Amino acid sequence: MDVMPKWAEVILVPLISLLLAAVLSALVILAIGENPWDALKLMVDGALGSTYGWGYTLYYATNFIFTGLAVAIAFHARMFNIGGEGQAVLGGLGVALVCLYIPFPHWSLALITASVGAALFGAAWAFIPAILQAKRGSHIVITTIMFNFIAAALLNYLLVGALKPAGSMEPATGKFPETTHLPSFQDMFSFGEATLFRGAPANISFFVAIAACIALWALIWRTRLGYEIRAYGHSESAAKYAGISPTKIIVVSLLISGGLAGMMAINNVQGEAERLVLNAVEGAGFIGIAVALMGRSHPLGVFLAAILFGFLYQGGAELALWTSIPRELIVVIQALVILFTGALDNMVRMPLERFFLSRRKPPKPDAKSTPAVGTN
Amino acid sequence: MTAPAIELKGISKAFGPVQANKDISIRVMPGTIHGIIGENGAGKSTLMSILYGFYKADKGEIFIGGTKTDIPDSQSAIAAGIGMVFQHFKLVENFTVLENIILGAEDSGLLRPSLSRARRELKALADEYELNVDPDAIVEDIGVGMQQRVEILKALYRQADILILDEPTGVLTPAEADHLFRILENLRREGKTIILITHKLREIMDITDTVSVMRRGEMTATVKTVDTSPQELAELMVGRKVLLRVEKTPASPGDVILDVQDLNVTDAKGVHRVKGISFNVRAGEILGIAGVAGNGQSELLEVLGGYEKASGQITVNGTPIDLTGQKSDGQSRRRRGIAHVPEDRQAEGLIMDYAAWENTAFGYHHDAKYRNGLFMNNAAILQDTTEKMERFDVRPPDPKLAAKNFSGGNQQKIVLAREIERNPDLLLIGQPTRGVDIGAIEFIHQQIVALRDQGKAILLVSVELEEILALSDRIAVMFDGHIMGERDPAQTDEKELGLLMAGMTGNPSQVSVKDIEENLAHAGTGKV
C-alpha cells in the first residue's frame, strides 16, 4: 500500500524540492546585491524566451538526456556508474574516428555509423570496470572514477599526437568533412523568410535522444533483459535463486550504460563542434547523475530533468553575460537543485507523506489486505 | 489483593495506515508465566516493544506494580524492572560472558570492581536458577542455548522482576527448550513474572499459567491455560476452525527421482558446510530433513536449487546434474524438472517490489508461454497469475499488488503456486510455513501432500520438528554437515530426533543438556 498517491510522488515531491532550491537561490542572489526576480526573468528570457535560447537549452538537454539515461539504467541494476564523463570522452573519440576516416555520401549514414561508433567506444570503456566488478569485486564507483581520469589523459595524448592535423598548434582534430555535418534546428525548422534557432547548436541528435528514452523505457519495463536487470537491482539473492547470472547483468547493464554515455558525442562532437576538442564533455557526465536522481531513473523523468538542467545551463550563461552575477553562481544554483532533489529528498517526502496519511480515512476494521506489521 | 506486576490499559499504536495494536488491555499477576500467542503480524512484538520503550504508544497507560509508569526508552524499562530477551540476541560476540553481562551496567570507570561483583552475583544466580554458564567463555564459542542464558542473566543482573522472552525456542533443540522451561519455572518459583511470546501452541500449554491471544492488533481473549485447549487457542488466533493435524495416507514410493552421493559443499568463506552426505528421494514420498538451523541444510537446498557449487554426484531421474559448470545454475535446474520453494521467500523466492504477476514469472521468465521474442508476454503472465491466485486462494486476489503488500502466508502461496503449478518431478521446499499464519499453514501442508500423492518427489527442510513429523514419510537428521541417521516418523519421537539434531545417539534419558550443548558448541553450529 503506497502512502502517497502516484501524482504526488512523481510531481509534487520534485516540484516542492525545486521551489525550495529556487527560494534559497533567490536568497543567495539577494545577498550579492542583485534582484532575484530580475535574475529569474533574465534566465527564463534567455533560455526559453526565443528559439535561439531554446536552441541552446535543448542542445544542453540532449547531452544530459544521454548521460542521465546512462546513469539511470545502471541504477536499475543497483550499479552506480559515475564514469559517464570518461565514457562520453571515449564516445567522442569513436565519433571522431568514424567521421574522419570513413567517407560518407550523406549525413544520415554518418549519423547512424557515428552513433554506433560512439556507443561502442563508450561501452568498451565501461566494460573494463564492469568485468572487474563482476569477476573480482572491484567497486564500480572507484574504478569508473579512475577511468574518467584515464580517459581524459588518453584523449590528451591523442589530441597532441596522432589525431592532430600536421602543422596545427591546437590540441584538436581537424574539421570533420562536410557530409558528416548534422542538420541543426536552424536547418530543419526554418521555412522561407523565417529563420528559427539562428546559430543555436541544437541539432537532430535531440531526436535520437528522445528515441533513446523510448527504447530504454521499453528495455527496462517490457523486455526479459530489463526484467532481469530490475530483479538483480532489487535483490541479488533472489536473482541468483531465479538463475539470473549476476555477472551477465552487471556487464550488460554497464555496457548499455557506457554506450548511452558515449552516444552523447553525436550531439556535442559531431553536431556542435564538428571536430574533437579537449574537454568536449564539459561535466555533462556528472550532471547525468543529478538528472537520473531527479528523474527517478525513469526515462520520462530523465527527459524532463535534462530539460530543466539545460535551462539552468543556458539561463546561467545569460545571467553571467548580462549581470554582475558571476557564472559560478549558476553552479551554486545547480548544486542547490541537486541537493534538494537528490540528497534532501526525504526532507520534502516525509512531511508530505504525513500530510497524505492524515487525510486518509481510517482503515476498515476487517480489511483482508491489512499488511503484516511487526516481525516475529 | 496484590497489584498486577504489569497492567496495560487501552494501548493503541498505528504505523501509518496500519493499526498494529488496538485498545489492548492486559493484566499480568506477579509470579506467573503469561503467554502471548498470535500469528505473525498480530501485533505481539509491537506490544512488547511498547512495554520495553522502543515505541511510544499513541494511546493507553502502563502500570508497573500498581503505579502508572512512563516508558519512553529502554533505560526506563530496565529501571522499572523489565528485562527483555530478544529473538535475535544482542550480545557482543567477541566479549566474554562476564563482559557482556556488565556491558552498560558498569559501576565505575574501572572494569575490575564491576567484573568481580558480577562474578559473585553470577555464581549466586547460577545456583539459584540452574542458569549455568562459564563466565570467562567467549560468547561466539558457546552454543545458542548458553547465549540465551547469558541474555537472561543480563536481565537478572539488572534486577529485572519482569522478564519478556520473544520466541525463545526458535533456535533450540527440544532438550534445550525443556531446560529453558525448567529455568523459567525456577524463576517463577522465586516470584519473577514472565511473559512468553510464541507461536507454538504446545509451549503455551506446557508452561504458562494464563494466555492472551492476539489477532490483527486486538487482544481477542485472555484465559487460564488449564481451562483451554490447543484447538480453542488456534481458533481464537485465526478466527475460524482449523485443522491442526495433517491428513495423509501412507506413501507409496516409486522410482528414485533424486539421488545424492557423497555431496560436499564448501561455502564462500571456506567453511566446510556439507560433509559427504548421501541420500535419495523417491517419487511419491516426502523426505523430511530435520536439524537445528545452520547445520548444512540451507547449503544442500542451494546446491540442488543451482546457486551454490559442490562436489559429489547428484542424479535426477537417473541423469547426473552439473554441480560446478555452465549448467549448474537455477535455469538449468528448472529445465531438469526441479522446482524450489526457498527457505527465505523475502530474500530469495520473491522480488518484494515486483507485483504478484511479475513474481509469478520469476525464474520461469524465459519459458515459451511467458515470452514474446525479446519481450515478456505480460498479458499471458497476468492471465496465468489471476488463475493461480484463484486456485491457491491468495488474498487479496490482485495480480498487480506488490509482493511486499501481501501477508507472509499469501506471499508463500504465490511462491508455492508458481513452483507447484509447473508440475515438477522434484520439489525442494525449505521452511514452508516460517512466518505463515495458522490458517495458511493448513492449506500449504495440504498442497504438499497433494503433490506427493500425484507421484512427485519432495525434499522438505524445516527446523520445526512438529512439521517434519507431520509431513514426512522418512526423516533424515542433519548435524554439522552430516546426516546423523534416517528414521521412520511412525517409530520415532521428538526426543530421539532432538538428540540426533545435537549429533548424538543413544538413549535420550541418559543424555544431559550439558552434553548436548557442548556437542553443539563444539561443532560451531546452530549459530543464529
How many angstroms away from the CA of B349 is the closest CA of chain A?
Answer: 6
Q: Percent of chain B beyond pLDDT 90?
A: 61
In a domain, B499, yes or no: yes
* Domain membership flag for residue B342: no
Which range of residues forms the domain containing residue B490?
A: 243-337+424-528
Domain termination residue (choose one: B403, B423, B443): B423
**Is residue A33, in this structure, part of any structural domain at all?**
no
Question: B217 in a domain, yes or no?
Answer: yes
* pLDDT given for residue A5 in this prediction: 80
Averaged over B347-365, what is the pLDDT? 95
C-alpha cell at A330: 549558476
Same domain membership, residue B455 and residue B472? yes
- Residue A355 resides in a domain: no
CB within 8 Å: A357 and B16: yes
Q: Please name the member of A225, A242, A360 whose beta carbon is closest to the beta carbon of B330.
A: A242
Please judge whether B15 and A234 are an interchain contact, meaning their C-beta atoms are less than 8 angstroms apart. Answer: no
Do B263 and B218 belong together in one domain?
no
Per-residue pLDDT at A47:
93
Residue A51 in any domain: the answer is no
Q: Where are the beta strands (DSSP E) in B391-481?
A: 426-430, 457-461, 474-479
Mean pLDDT by groups of 10 residues along chain A of 376 residues: 72 87 91 89 92 95 97 96 96 96 95 97 97 95 96 95 89 93 90 83 96 98 96 96 96 98 96 93 91 91 94 89 81 85 80 80 44 40
Q: Are residues B73 and B16 in the same domain?
A: yes
Structural domain contains residue B254: yes
Residue whose C-alpha is closest to residue B287's, from B256, B329, B332: B256
Which of A110-124, B106-120, B138-152: highest mean pLDDT?
Answer: A110-124
Reported ipTM: 0.84
Distance CA B428, CA B333 (A): 11
B408 and B429 housed in the same domain: no
Phi, psi for B5 (deg, rounded to 5): -65, -45
Find the length of chain B. 528
User: Does residue A348 lie within any of the structural domains?
Assistant: no
Chain B hits for A75, CB-CB cut-off 8 Å, are none
Q: In 3D, which of A74, A69, A83 has the Cα closest to residue A150? A: A83
Contacts of residue A168, defined as CB under 8 A and 6 or more positions apart, other chains included, come to A174
Identify the pLDDT of residue A374.
39
Same domain, residue pair B445 and B412: no
Chosen domain end from B238, B257, B279: B238
According to DSSP, the residues that pair with B260 across neighbouring strands are B279, B314
Do B333 and B385 lie in a common domain?
A: no
Name the pTM for this structure: 0.85
Which has the closest alpha carbon to B314: B294, B290, B332? B332
Does B1 reside within a domain? no
Total domain count for chain A?
Answer: 1
B406 neighbourhood in chain A, CB within 8 Å: 371
Provide the pLDDT for residue A361: 55
Q: What is the β-pairing status of strands B256-266 and B426-430?
A: unpaired
SS3 B342: coil
B396 touches chain A (CB under 8 A): yes
Beta bridge partners of B67: B64
Question: Which pLDDT score, from 0 to 100, does residue B132 have?
Answer: 84
What is the dihedral sign for C-alpha B257, B261, B266, B271? positive
- What nine digits make up the cell of B277? 552426505
Whether B275 and B176 map to the same domain: the answer is: no
CATH value at residue A234: 1.10.3470
Which among A222, A243, A374 has the least Cβ separation from residue B330? A243
Q: Which residue has the higher pLDDT, A107 or B407?
A: A107
Tally Cβ neighbours within 10 Å of residue B253: 20
What does the H/E/C string look like for B189-255?
HCCCEEEEEECCHHHHHHHCCEEEEEECCEEEEEEEHHHCCHHHHHHHHHCCCCCCCCCCCCCCCCC
Residue A169 belongs to some domain of the structure:
yes
For residues B371 and B511, state if they share a domain: no
Question: Does the CB of B166 have a partner CB in chain A at under 8 Å?
Answer: yes
Q: Tell me if A108 is assigned to some domain.
A: yes
Which of B212, B238, B264 finishes a domain? B238
What pLDDT does residue A360 have?
67
Q: Give yes or no for a contact between B52 and B212, defined as CB atoms under 8 angstroms apart.
A: no
Residues B443 and B503 in one domain: yes
**A234 with B351: Cβ contact below 8 A:** yes
Question: For the segment B265-309, what is each residue's pLDDT rounded down to a tens digit?
Answer: 998 888 899 999 999 999 999 999 999 888 999 999 999 999 999
Residues B87 and B179 in one domain: yes
Predicted confidence at residue A3, as pLDDT, reads 67
Q: Report the pLDDT value the prediction gives residue B164, as an integer from 0 to 100.
A: 94
Task: Give the separation between CA B419 and CA B363, rounded to whole angstroms.
Answer: 10
A323 within a domain of the structure (yes/no): no
Residue B343 domain flag? no
- Give chain B's domain count: 3
CATH number at B512 reads: 3.40.50.300
Q: Which residue numbers of A have CB closer than 8 Å to B's CBs?
A: 1, 3, 218, 222-225, 227-228, 230-231, 234-235, 237-238, 240-245, 353, 357, 360, 363, 368-376
Residue A183 lies in a domain: yes
Measured in angstroms, the CA of A296 and the nearest CA of chain B are apart by: 15
**Do B403 and B438 belong to one domain?**
no
* Residue-range definition of the domain harbouring residue A76: 61-307
Q: Which of B17, B329, B366 sits opposite A360 (nearest CB)?
A: B17
Question: DSSP letters of A268-294?
Answer: IIIIIISS-BTT-STTHHHHHHHHHHH
